[in-house]
Chains A and B, each alone.
Chain A
Amino acid sequence: MKILIVDDEKALCDSLSLYLKKRGHEVVTAQDFKTADEALLINKFDLIFLDYRLSSQHTGRDLLIHARKLNVASSIAMMSAYKTRDNSLEMINLGAQFYLSKPFKLVEIDRILEQVSESS
């Protein structure tokens, strides 16, 4: 699968990218809205890991709305430092398929990868 990781935390991008590459996936990382937007225009991703907060100027929520407007067909997994029922429902209504609460474990990543490959 081709996977995009969007998070302003470089260490998190590196760790998650390392794991996904070990699993045999192609990975692109982005740490801000602009880089992520450019990546979305050039590539077709199967799965996007997207940080809910991202930055003060453009949040992950903004990018999610933007991606859906661009008719990006990828499955989207939102990552957040504090998951609540309110923002989970909001993200699902905006088009995210999965919601991860930070810090998350590799087994949760595996579950998402399995569901995405089954659906594709």
Chain B
Amino acid sequence: MKKAGHRHTLIFILWAAAVYLFYFLQLRTIEFYEYSQKAALSKHFLRDFYFYGSFATTVIFGVLLLWFFMCAERRVYSERLKNHRITVLEKFSSHIAHEIRNPLTSLSLNAELVGQSADQLEGPRAEELQKLTGDIINDVARLTEATEHYLDFRNKSNRNETFEIRPLLEHLIEEMHSEAEPKSIHVLLKLHPQTSVILRGNSDRFLLAMKCLIKNAVEAMPQGGFLVFEGVRRFRKFILRIKDTGVGITHDNMERLFEPFFTTKLKGVGLGLCLVKQVSEEFGAAVRVKSTLGKGTAFQITFPLVK
């Protein structure tokens, strides 16, 4: 920020110098010619006009320039800070996931081995042991799922393939039906049959992002509702909207939606939407969200198309 301050001062000085140079050149030009009485009066008027006018111009433009560069610097600084936080988070996620998953493996195996030994016993003691080992195995599964979120966030991929989006979305929706139907959630795909959409990126990461959005949408519709995948081509872009008729998001939460670890749920790590944003950036896409309380939420991701 100190370097930025010096740079701004320098730019301001250069700008001021340029304006005053212009002023002096103009003055010399006027003095060069022979004037009549009228011109002599004009000369003073012109000189004053140039002097005060350029002074005011310098101040106004200098202030505007300074403000513009300070805003730009603030944006750059904030972006750098955010990227630094994300790098630290990625390293933290990787470290914690590995340091947890390895001991979880032996914990899980040992619980299963104890359960197998318990099978050979009889009576209430055996039942008690089986229940306890069952609880351990369930908790291992919960912890594994939690670490999955951290690792999904960390694991950016450089894989750069082209893939057709329609079969992926159709397969995803088909997978969803068994889970959605009991919850009275109707899932629809609105994509023109003639529309061919080919994207460049990692298809697994794309699916991961979609699953995060679906999970949030399902959780937002405890009484059931509609979940719609709507896609439209516009020039060289493909706009994908994932809309639900759920409870919606409050205005305060909207601003923090893509922050790592931000969650309004009792259970959850708070990396889902952060991951969606990360995956969108991997595709060179922009993600936006609109929501109305009580009516629903729509996520819009604009992808660049591959021809």
Number of interface residues of B (CB under 8 A): 22
**Stretch of B3-11, B103-111, B246-254 lying at the A interface:** B103-111
- A102-B159 in contact (CB<8A): no
CB interface residues, A 85-120, toward B, < 8 Å: 85-86, 102-106
- Which residue among A9, A19, A79, A82 has the maximum number of chain B CB atoms within 10 Å of its CB? A82
Contact residues in B for A53 (Cβ distance below 8 Å) = 98
Question: What does the 1/0 interface line of B141-158 toward A look like (CB < 8 Å)?
Answer: 000100000010001010
**Stretch of A10-18, A32-40, A64-72 lying at the B interface:** A10-18
Question: Given that A85-B204, A86-B157, A106-B112 are known contacts, is A11 also in contact with B103, CB under 8 Å in the complex?
Answer: yes
CB interface residues, B 67-123, toward A, < 8 Å: 97-98, 101-110, 112-113, 116
- B98-A15 in contact (CB<8A): no
Q: How far is the CA of A105 from the CA of B141 in the complex (A)?
A: 11
Kindly report which residue of chain B lies nearest to residue A9, judged by CB atoms. Answer: B102
Q: How far is the CA of A78 from the CA of B221 in the complex (A)?
A: 41
Q: Which of B104, B116, B151 contacts A103 (CB 8 A)?
A: B104
Q: Is the interface of B mostly helix, strand, loop or mixed?
A: helix
Q: How far is the CA of A79 from the CA of B220 in the complex (A)?
A: 37
> B140 an interface residue at 8 Å Cβ cutoff?
yes
Q: Measured between C-beta atoms, what is the minimum distance from A107 to chain B in Å?
A: 9
> A81 an interface residue at 8 Å Cβ cutoff?
yes
Q: Which of B97, B105, B109 contacts A82 (CB 8 A)?
A: B97
Kindly report which residue of chain A lies nearest to residue B112, judged by CB atoms. Answer: A106
Q: Measured between C-beta atoms, what is the minimum distance from A104 to chain B in Å?
A: 7
- A104-B105 in contact (CB<8A): yes
Contact residues in B for A85 (Cβ distance below 8 Å) = 204
Q: How far is the CA of A86 from the CA of B140 in the complex (A)?
A: 25
> A84 an interface residue at 8 Å Cβ cutoff?
yes
Q: Which of A81, A86, A106 contacts B109 (CB 8 A)?
A: A106
Contact residues in A for B102 (Cβ distance below 8 Å) = 9, 12, 81, 102
Count the A-B residue pairs with Cβ separation under 8 angstroms: how many? 58
Kindly report which residue of chain A lies nearest to residue B152, judged by CB atoms. Answer: A82
Q: Which of B109, B112, B157 contacts A12 (CB 8 A)?
A: B109
Q: How far is the CA of A14 from the CA of B98 in the complex (A)?
A: 19
- A103-B112 in contact (CB<8A): no
Question: What does the 1/0 interface line of B51-79 toward A look like (CB < 8 Å)?
Answer: 00000000000000000000000000000
- B155-A19 in contact (CB<8A): no
- Which residue among A18, A82, A103 has the maximum number of chain B CB atoms within 10 Å of its CB? A103
Question: What does the 1/0 interface line of B241-276 toward A look like (CB < 8 Å)?
Answer: 000000000000000000000000000000000000
- A12-B105 in contact (CB<8A): yes
- A14-B106 in contact (CB<8A): yes
Contact residues in B for A86 (Cβ distance below 8 Å) = 157, 159
Contact residues in B for A81 (Cβ distance below 8 Å) = 97-98, 101-102, 151
Contact residues in A for B103 (Cβ distance below 8 Å) = 9, 11
Q: Which of A15, A79, A104, A105 contacts B110 (CB 8 A)?
A: A15
Q: Which residues of B contact A (CB under 8 A)?
A: 97-98, 101-110, 112-113, 116, 140, 144, 151, 155, 157, 159, 204
Q: Which residues of A contact B (CB under 8 A)?
A: 9, 11-12, 14-16, 18-19, 53, 79, 81-82, 84-86, 102-106
Q: A14-B106, A18-B113 are in contact. List 4 more A-B contacts (CB 8 A).
A: A81-B98, A82-B155, A86-B157, A105-B108
- Across the A-B interface, the 3 shortest Cβ-Cβ residue pairs: A11-B106, A81-B101, A15-B109
Name 13 A/B residue pairs within 8 A (Cβ), A-sorted: A12-B106, A12-B109, A14-B106, A84-B155, A84-B157, A84-B204, A86-B157, A102-B104, A103-B104, A103-B107, A103-B108, A106-B112, A106-B116
